[in-house]
Amino acid sequence: MNFRSQARGMTLTVKPNPDVLFRRLGDDMVLFHLGSDRFFELNATGARFWELLTAGHDVDDALQLMREEFAVDPDELEREATALLEMLRRENLMTVND
C-alpha cells in the first residue's frame, strides 16, 4: 500500500482518538481506550511509529524517520506500518485521513 492518496496527491495524516491514553513502558507503548476499556501493547518499532504520528508527523515523514533510525528493509517497514495503521483504525485508536 502506498500511503499517498493517488487521487488527490495528499499525504495520509493520523490523529489519535482523544479517548486513548498512552504511555511508554521501556521500549514498548501501552494504549488504553477509555471507551472500550481495552489495553493494547505496541512493540518498540510500533511505539516509535505511534510517537512520531502523535507528534504531528504524517505517515510518509514518520516512515522516512524510521528508515533512518532502524536497520530495516523499507518494504517490510511499509507492510508492518500498513498492518499497524489498519489495526489502529479498526480498534478506533486513531483516525486516518487522506
* Per-residue pLDDT tens over the stretch 11-39: 788 899 999 999 999 999 999 999 999 99
Which among 47, 53, 42 has a CA at the least distance from the CA of 70?
Answer: 47
Domain that holds residue 26: 13-92
In a domain, 4, yes or no: no
Higher pLDDT, 63 or 7: 63
In a domain, 33, yes or no: yes
Which among 96, 95, 66, 65 has a CA at the least distance from the CA of 1?
Answer: 96
What total number of domains does the chain contain?
Answer: 1
In the predicted model, is pLDDT for residue 62 greater than 60? Answer: yes
In the predicted model, is pLDDT for residue 63 greater than 90? Answer: yes
In a domain, 55, yes or no: yes
In a domain, 76, yes or no: yes
In a domain, 80, yes or no: yes
In the predicted model, is pLDDT for residue 9 greater than 60? Answer: no
In a domain, 5, yes or no: no
Sign of the CA dihedral running 2, 88, 16, 7: positive
* Helix, coil or strand: residue 27: coil
Contacts of 5 (CB under 8 A, 6+ apart): 11, 12, 98
In a domain, 57, yes or no: yes
In a domain, 47, yes or no: yes
Contacts of 39 (CB under 8 A, 6+ apart): 30, 31, 32
